[in-house]
């Protein structure tokens, strides 16, 4: 029983970190800074920025993985979890192309953090990615 609890706790704890970071990025447009990115371990700076822009998709991916582990651990208790597991497998498989779209093209816009929705492909290549767009005649 303790082993099952540990198997269930670990993936949900891993999924909680990007969820917490997504809430922070979604609310505060001044937050995404190069020194604050959680994905900078072994990826380039532009990829880390893309993952920060697509943090909603990253969070969904982690939650699908956690739900799949939960379905696998609870399989012996209830065999009806097979259909639930397939839903999360489909969600995980769908999140991978969405993440590539967000990182590469900043599309679809509703999955991008609000402070980076205005960025074009040229802005992304140039490394511009923080702050909200300033409209003419409007003071920040």
Domain boundaries, the chain: 2-126
Q: How far apart are CA 33 and CA 73, in angstroms?
A: 38
Q: How far apart are CA 55 and CA 126, in angstroms?
A: 20
Q: The whole model's pTM is what?
A: 0.81
**Pick from 133, 140, 132, 128: which is nearest to 28 by CA?**
132
User: Which tokens hold the place of 7?
Assistant: 């198997």
Cβ-proximal residues to 6 (8 Å cutoff; 6+ apart), any chain: none
Helix, strand, coil shares of the chain, percent, nearest 5, are: 70, 0, 30
pLDDT tens for the chain, residues 1 to 140: 777 777 788 899 999 988 998 888 888 767 666 666 666 567 777 787 888 889 999 999 999 999 988 888 777 667 777 788 888 999 999 999 999 999 888 899 999 988 888 888 888 888 776 655 444 554 44
């Amino acid at each position: 029983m303790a082993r099952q609890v540990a198997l269930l706790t670990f993936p949900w704890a891993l999924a909680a970190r990007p969820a917490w970071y997504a809430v922070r990025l979604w609310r505060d447009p001044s937050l995404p800074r190069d020194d604050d990115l959680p994905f900078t371990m072994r990826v380039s700076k532009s990829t880390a920025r893309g993952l920060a822009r697509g943090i909603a998709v990253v969070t969904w991916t982690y939650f699908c993985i956690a739900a799949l582990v939960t379905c696998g651990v609870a399989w012996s208790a209830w065999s009806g979890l097979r259909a639930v597991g397939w839903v999360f497998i489909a969600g995980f498989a769908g999140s991978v192309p969405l993440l590539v779209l967000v990182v590469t093209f900043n599309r679809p816009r509703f999955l991008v953090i609000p402070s980076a929705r205005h960025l074009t492909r040229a802005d992304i290549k140039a490394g511009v990615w923080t702050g909200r767009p300033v409209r003419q005649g409007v003071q920040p």
